[in-house]
């Protein structure tokens, strides 16, 4: 199974917030990290193409949070400028900001899951997967994730190729493995993926929140 590292090696390298070092009010950046001015400059120098990409990626990363479009980017950029999140100099800025947005979204999802429901009690979980049954929170996460995965598949009812691609993605297939799994060449795969992206954008215009 081949998997391209689209995140510039960021996965597993994102410094935790607690690792941030500070002196006074300024983020301390050893030579290995961008400082706050570098962050501002890095963003200012992003091309319109990359900005549109961030705009689109944010919509996807918002899933399951209570945030609105724009909030994630605002938080990610603020965290980077404040030094709460550090961007290694050898990592592409786009990869850093994308992973920071995703990480922040993940924190929001976790926080939301821990909040009591309207009735004041913690959300009751019904067991779906036996492996997670002993941990109600994990069970809830699994249930919500399963619901979303199911809803994504439902978006492509009647489009078997798109369903195959989504299924392949969910099993981690990329490149040749994905082409073989779906049984199409790269041009056809690109076309199917574009179709998936468009359908998803229409189905979830404000991120993958529960509709």
Partner 1 sequence: MTASRKNPAREQLDRIEDALIESILGASEAELREEMVERGEDPDKCLLRMEQIVAGAKVASGKRRMERAKSELQEWRTGQAKTLKFDREAVRARFEKMRSRDPELASKMLLAARKGEGLSESDVEGLIEDLAKLERLDDKPGSE
**Closest distance of CB 120 from partner 1, Å:** 26
- Measured between its terminal Cα atoms, the distance across the chain in Å is 33
Stated as kind and residue range, the H or E segment containing 105 is helix 93-114
Which residue, 15 or 36, is less far from partner 1 as judged by CB? 36
Q: How far apart are CA 83 and CA 26, in angstroms?
A: 8
- Which residues make beta-bridge pairs with 205? 207
**Closest distance of CB 56 from partner 1, Å:** 5
Whether 175 and 6 have beta carbons less than 8 Å apart is answered as: no
Which residue, 60 or 122, is less far from partner 1 as judged by CB? 60
**Closest distance of CB 135 from partner 1, Å:** 12
Q: How far apart are CA 199 and CA 156, in angstroms?
A: 8
Pick from 9, 69, 80: nearest CA to 43: 80
Other C-beta atoms lying within 10 Å of the C-beta of residue 158: 6
Which residue, 66 or 154, is less far from partner 1 as judged by CB? 154
Q: Indicate the Cα dihedral angle 101, 61, 190, 145, nearest 10°.
A: 140
Which residue, 15 or 120, is less far from partner 1 as judged by CB? 15
**Closest distance of CB 119 from partner 1, Å:** 25
> Which single residue is written with the structure tokens 């926080």?
111
**Closest distance of CB 182 from partner 1, Å:** 13
Which residue, 23 or 121, is less far from partner 1 as judged by CB? 23
Site residues for partner 1 per CB under 8 A: 4, 6, 24-26, 36, 40, 43-44, 47-49, 51-57, 60-61, 63, 70, 73-75, 77-78, 81-82, 94, 98, 102, 129, 131-132, 141-143, 145-146, 148-150, 152-154, 157, 163, 166-167, 169-172, 174, 193-194, 196-198, 200-202, 205
């Amino acid at each position: 199974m081949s998997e391209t590292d689209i995140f510039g090696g960021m996965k597993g390298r994102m410094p935790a917030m607690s690792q941030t070092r500070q002196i006074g009010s300024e983020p301390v950046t050893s030579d290995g990290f961008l400082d706050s001015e570098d962050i501002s400059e890095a963003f200012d120098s992003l091309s319109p193409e990359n900005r549109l990409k961030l705009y689109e990626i944010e919509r996807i990363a918002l899933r399951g949070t209570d945030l609105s479009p724009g909030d994630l980017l605002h938080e990610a950029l603020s965290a980077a400028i404040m030094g709460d999140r550090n961007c290694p100099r050898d990592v592409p800025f786009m990869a850093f900001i994308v992973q920071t947005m995703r990480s922040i979204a993940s924190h929001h999802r976790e926080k939301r899951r821990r909040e009591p429901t309207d009735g004041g009690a913690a959300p009751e979980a019904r067991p779906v997967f036996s492996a997670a049954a002993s941990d109600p929170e994990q069970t809830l996460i699994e249930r919500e994730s399963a619901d979303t995965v199911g809803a994504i598949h439902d978006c492509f009812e009647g489009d078997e190729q798109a369903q195959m691609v989504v299924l392949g993605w969910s099993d981690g297939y990329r490149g040749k493995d994905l082409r073989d799994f779906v049984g199409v060449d790269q041009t056809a795969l690109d076309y199917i993926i574009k179709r998936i992206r468009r359908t998803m954008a229409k189905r979830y215009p404000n991120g993958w929140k529960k509709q």
